[in-house]
Amino acid sequence: MTGMPAAQRLSPIEQVGPDHRRVLVDLGDRAYPVDVGAGVRRLLPAVVARLGARRAVIVSARPAGTVPDPGVPALRVAARDGEVDKTLANVEALCSQFAGFGLTRSDVIISCGGGTTTDVVGLAAALYHRGTTVVHLPTSLLAQVDASVGGKTAVNLPAGKNLVGAYWQPSAVLCDTELLATLPRREWVNGYGEIARAHFIGAPDLMDRPVGEQIAASVALKAGVVARDERDGSLRHILNYGHTLGHALERVSDYAMRHGEAVAVGTVFAGRLAGALGRIRPERVAEHLDVVRGYGLPWALPAEVDLDALIAVMRLDKKSMGTGLTFVLDRASGPDEASGPELVADVDEALVRATLAAMPRETA
């Protein structure tokens, strides 16, 4: 995969108001805005009017008052956030409720919740009538910085995470930072796992920035990548930095380990594996741990995790290009400054196992 200078990966951030930023995901006639700031959920009626929808289905994992009146007749459907609910059965149940309401392709589906709600509702929207307009109102830090943007929708199978899905871009995303105020600490950690790995794929240093700036910068990075590679042909793979091990840790822990926590550990591992392959210098390896710890994130493998189980799940990773193990790995910058993370296939399993074995373990 060809590298790209970090500055070319970032979409512009428009300052709409003192605490309101907007990033455009530029996909031509399918382009859409991502609004970030306090109170931006109140833009929903104007968004629905712009889309010309006659009716709406609101699928929400949050209290009824979280989603403003969309300005059109609406059916409200309760949802639950959590990996256990990311199933094809849940997608089928949603589509049945869409049909019962008489929803058509000229109407709109609105999701409200964390990343798992965004994934499930997005996939249901992609499948219902072969594609129905969807608007995301993400309510967790993880969903705002990552899951709600970019059009990837998926559910899990017993064999692994996100193995059944589709690309279906939303028509708007409203990241209201007011909704983050009541998040428990673990949900903040969950989101910061994605912000930390963004440090290694082209985001500016975000550690001491206000949360609105952190979200907007993370979205600008993702939007810039998605605009150039919507369907994972090459560049978009960098967004999965730290995710090969991260997804495996989620799966083998039966999702007791949250996504951002697992990606944080996966980011530290990716640095160590790149170092073991001679792709980066020791100080860059150490930087991975420094950044992850700087955000207050976990960096050690769970005490009792089985390495054979991890490797077996990593073989099923959706980035896999063959029979071997595939990772997104850092590389030293070249004189053209175009180097950076790239997809590396068929990494030697013995080296992967040795690098995993050398990772620190949590104390029991």
Q: Convert the pLDDT of each residue in 144-174 to its tens digit.
A: 999 999 999 999 998 888 999 999 999 999 9
Q: Is this structure's pTM higher than 0.85?
A: yes
| Mean pLDDT value across residues 263-292 | 97
Residue 325: is its pLDDT beyond 90? yes
Residue 2: is its pLDDT beyond 50? no
Residue 337: is its pLDDT beyond 50? no
Q: Do residues 175 and 22 touch, judged by C-beta distance below 8 A?
A: no
pLDDT tens digits, one per residue of 208-238: 999 999 999 999 999 999 999 999 888 899 9
End-to-end CA distance of the chain: 40
HSE at residue 294, side-chain half, CA atoms within 13 A, is: 15
Going from N- to C-terminal start, the domains of the chain cover 6-228, 241-358
Residue 180: per-residue pLDDT = 97
Please report, rounded to a whole number, the percentage of residues in the chain having pLDDT higher than 90.
86
Residue 64: per-residue pLDDT = 86
- Mean per-residue pLDDT over the chain, rounded: 93
Structure tokens, 46: 């104007």
Name 63's Cβ contacts closer than 8 Å, sequence gap at least 6. Answer: none
Write the DSSP string, 261-299: HHHHHHHHHHHHHHHHTTSS-HHHHHHHHHHHHHTT---
Q: What is the CA radius of gyration of the chain?
A: 20
Residue 336: per-residue pLDDT = 40
Classify residue 301 by its DSSP letter: B
Name 170's Cβ contacts closer than 8 Å, sequence gap at least 6. Answer: 32, 122, 134, 135, 136, 148, 149, 151
Residue 363: per-residue pLDDT = 81
Domain 6-228 sits in CATH 3.40.50.1970 = yes
Pick the range with the lowest mean pLDDT from 107-121, 183-197, 305-319: 305-319
Burial level of 55, CB count in 10 A (0-12/13-18/19+)?
middle
Query: What is the CATH code for 241-358?
Result: 1.20.1090.10
| Mean pLDDT value across residues 108-137 | 98
Please report, rounded to a whole number, the percentage of residues in the chain having pLDDT higher than 70.
95
| Mean pLDDT value across residues 302-320 | 90
Pick the range with the lowest mean pLDDT from 264-273, 279-288, 308-317, 320-329: 320-329
